[in-house]
Amino acid sequence: MLLRIACIFTLISYASNAAAQEIVGCAPSQGVEVICGLTKPEDIAALTDTDWLLVSELGDAATPGNIVAYNTSDGTLLRLKARDDSAASDPARVCGPMPERLRPRGFHVRMTGEGQYDVLLINVMGGQRIENYVVTLSDGDPALAWRGCVAVPDKFNVNDVAPLPGGGFVVSHMYDEPRTWLTTLKFIFHVDTGYAVSWRPGAEWVKVDGSDVTFANGIEVNPDTGEIYLAGTYGEELVAIDPSKNRVRRVSMPIQPDNLTWQTNGKILAVGHTGIPIWGTRKCRALAGKPCSFDFAVIQIDPRSLSRKVLFADRRGAIPGPSVALGHDDAIYLGTVFGDRISRIYMQGMK
């Protein structure tokens, strides 16, 4: 029996490594445009009503992360340097000094006024904090100001963040540290390991009831209703929690969903691996940031009915395995932790 199990895992490993492939060079290919010169552009958001995108650049051991602005019209790429504007913030929301270095995970950008945007960003450089920035457009270019931070309790291992109506935010807690072989077994057998956690000024961190999933990942909130949408990566599901109605809805996904993004039409985009869970991306992880592809799909979700539609699927090996899909001006922008670029695919209806 043990020999049979070993053979099965060997076959899985072989098939997985065949599916994941290193990509050499950074050039357009097979209808895919590329924005090169980045280091693990893990998350992407649009500055509403402009040609600018913000990019959460994770960085690596040799290169600190950054908040990057990219102009989709003229191709300008700016690594933004923040000024300290924390004196204008509530002291309760300043957990320490402005960070000198960043290692961002997920982030969220929302428009708060004409030419002004609020940014929440998970920073795991030397601990875990939710950094708060404000982006303003100065002479047409984005300018970044740091407003404060909230320290994340050590018991949480957070991946993504989204603001709550009325103040505060919600984060996704992936799994309890340390990650061991038992954690991996839970991923394989779809055992719940994580959940959503909410924070409001002056209150404790609170688990969101009904949000348990296997590897909690991307998270979004309906700004009008407060309904929370959470991706469960290895359970291959999306859960919608409406605390005001005490309602929890779940829907299976044809992908292992990563980050979530809103479209301007009110739909949600999810992107994720479609190959063998865990093993299917192992070769990419071993390449330590070199561009690496795996099979994936972009799914559009109607938040009212939770119906799903495949917008794009790829098995060609030309695109680094994506962590986020953002619709903007008739194109899908794909970010990745497995590479040095953003990939752009033109598609009608992505505004």
- In angstroms, the CA 185 to CA 200 distance is 34
Count the helix, strand and coil residues of the chain and give each as a percent rounded to the nearest 5. 10, 45, 45
Three-state DSSP state, 203: coil
CB 345 within 8 A of CB 332: yes
Residue 260 bridge partners (DSSP): 270
Which helix (H) or strand (E) segment holds residue 17: the answer is helix 2-19
- The per-residue pLDDT string of the chain (351 residues; one tens digit each, 9 = 90 and over) reads 443 433 334 334 444 444 799 999 999 988 899 999 999 999 999 999 999 999 999 998 788 999 999 999 999 999 999 999 998 787 778 899 999 999 999 999 999 999 999 999 999 999 999 999 999 997 889 999 999 999 999 999 999 999 999 999 999 999 999 999 999 999 999 999 999 999 999 899 999 999 999 999 999 999 999 999 999 999 999 999 999 999 999 999 999 999 999 999 999 999 999 999 999 999 999 998 899 999 999 999 999 999 999 999 999 999 999 999 999 999 999 999 999 999 999 987 676
Mind listing the domains of the chain with CATH numbers?
Answer: 2-21+33-346 (2.120.10.30)
CB 256 within 8 A of CB 197: no
